[in-house]
Amino acid sequence: MMCCYVGKTKDPEFHQYITPHSCGEVCGRQRDKDCPHHCNILCHPGPCPPCQAFTTKSCACGKTKQMVKCATSVATRCETVCDRTRNCGKHSCQTVCHEGPCDPCSVTITQVIEYGRVFPAGLPCVLESHRIRSLFSRPGKVMEFKTSHGKSW
């Protein structure tokens, strides 16, 4: 006793225009764990072919949605600047749509001003402000930080 390829029919009858050992019905097997569409071709041997249905997927940064084939595993990208907040918590990512986490903040503090005195800094922005303050300040002193973008904080 033999079943068809998808296991729906025992000892399927031979038909001249149907693949031998096929029941001739729609396969219906789940294609892939990431694909919600079932196989829609007739009962067949071997693995199901990649899904040809179109679906809406978000781009890597999540700002836009695009119509792509369901089986597409390549990440979609838009031409929009990412603009997510970087690891410093102060600056935004200026890279065009990308996968994964943003690169660490590349802004550097170009000068530290303490009551009119300028200290050369060149410190990366990702250092927390209280760590920078402890490098340059003394108790009771007020400091201003300027970044390579010319912004104070």
pLDDT band at 148 (very low <50, low <70, confident <90, very high): very low
Q: Secondary structure of the chain: what % helix, strand, coil (to 5)?
A: 5, 25, 70
Q: Which domain holds residue 9?
A: 1-51
Last residue within a domain, chosen from 28, 51, 74: 51
Asked whether residue 11 is assigned to any structural domain, the reply reads yes
Q: Is the pLDDT of residue 94 over 80?
A: yes
Cα–Cα distance for residue pair 100/132, rounded to 1 Å: 29
Token output for 108: 């550097």
Half-sphere exposure of 83 (CA within 13 A, CB side): 6
Asked whether residue 138 is assigned to any structural domain, the reply reads yes
Q: Which helix (H) or strand (E) holds 134?
A: helix 129-136
Asked whether residue 72 is assigned to any structural domain, the reply reads no
147 Cβ neighbours under 8 A, 6+ residues apart: 91, 107, 108, 109, 110, 125, 153
- Please give the span between the terminal C-alpha atoms of the chain, in angstroms, as a whole number: 79
Q: pTM for this structure? A: 0.50
pLDDT band at 123 (very low <50, low <70, confident <90, very high): low
Contact call for residues 7 and 29 (beta carbons, < 8 A): no
Last residue within a domain, chosen from 51, 69, 91: 51
Asked whether residue 2 is assigned to any structural domain, the reply reads yes
How many CB atoms lie under 10 A from the CB of residue 32?
14
Q: How many domains does the chain have?
A: 2
Asked whether residue 132 is assigned to any structural domain, the reply reads yes
Give strand pairing partners of 109.
123, 147
Asked whether residue 61 is assigned to any structural domain, the reply reads no
Asked whether residue 123 is assigned to any structural domain, the reply reads yes
Q: What is the structure's pLDDT at 75?
A: 76
- Average pLDDT for 21-45: 87
Asked whether residue 13 is assigned to any structural domain, the reply reads yes
